[in-house]
């Protein structure tokens, strides 16, 4: 956990930052899938939590720290595979970790994007679900 830090992000709210260099294709985050919610109860969650709920192995998962602080970028430095986020390229110490939410099974899309990258799509739409 000391490899990752939660602090104020220039993208949105808080973000997850690396406290050391990660090599391309190294595992950066293992998803904590222990907090599940029934489909009926999703609508009872506060919006800020609800929008990050994702579907994994047939369960609706409420992300905990640090996953819940991950910000989206249209030019993300990680990719998701089998419940983990991997470095898409070398990530230097101090960089914010960003994920491409459009390719993860997140329920709260579409969402406005504030990533500020050159190729920003302005709205994050799901490539996984039909929203």
- Name every residue whose Cβ is closer than 8 Å to that of residue 82 and which is 6 or more positions away in sequence: none
The only residue of 6, 42, 49, 120 in contact with Zn ion, by rule CB under 5 A: 120
For residue 99, the minimal CB distance to Zn ion (Å) is 12
**Distance of closest approach, residue 95 Cβ to Zn ion, in angstroms:** 17
Q: How far apart are the first and last CA of the chain?
A: 34
Q: Are strands 123-124 and 111-112 parallel, antiparallel or unpaired?
A: antiparallel
Smallest separation (angstroms) from Zn ion to the CB of 98: 9
User: What is the DSSP pairing of strand 71-72 with strand 36-37?
Assistant: unpaired
Is residue 66 within 8 A of residue 19, CB to CB? The reply is no
Counting contacts by CB under 5 A, is residue 99 touching Zn ion?
no
Beta pairing class for 71-72 and 27-30: unpaired
Residue 109 in the binding site for Zn ion (CB under 5 A): no
Decide: is 101 part of the binding site for Zn ion (CB under 5 A): no
Complex with Zn ion: residue 15 or 60, whichever CB lies closer: 15
Site membership for Zn ion, residue 49 (CB under 5 A): no
Evaluate whether 18 touches 1 at the Cβ level (below 8 Å). Answer: no
Q: Which of 62, 107, 109, 113 binds Zn ion (CB under 5 A)?
A: 113
115 contributes a contact to Zn ion by CB under 5 A: yes
For the segment 67-96, give every residue that binds Zn ion (CB under 5 A). 74
Residue 53 as a binder of Zn ion (CB under 5 A): the answer is no
Strand 36-37 and strand 59-61: pairing? antiparallel
Enumerate binding residues for Zn ion (CB under 5 A): 74, 113, 115, 120
């Amino acid at each position: 956990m000391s490899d990752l830090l939660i602090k104020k992000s220039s993208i949105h709210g808080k973000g997850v930052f690396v406290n050391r260099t990660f090599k391309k294709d190294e595992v950066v985050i293992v998803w904590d899938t222990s907090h599940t919610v029934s489909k009926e109860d999703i609508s009872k969650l506060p919006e800020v939590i609800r929008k990050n709920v994702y579907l994994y192995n047939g369960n609706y998962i409420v992300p905990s720290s640090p996953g819940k602080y991950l910000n989206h970028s249209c030019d993300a430095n990680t990719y998701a595979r089998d419940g983990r986020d991997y470095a898409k390229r070398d990530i230097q110490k101090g960089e914010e970790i960003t994920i491409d939410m459009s390719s993860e099974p997140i329920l709260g899309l579409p969402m406005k994007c504030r990533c500020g990258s050159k190729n920003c799509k302005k709205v994050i739409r799901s490539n996984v679900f039909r929203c």
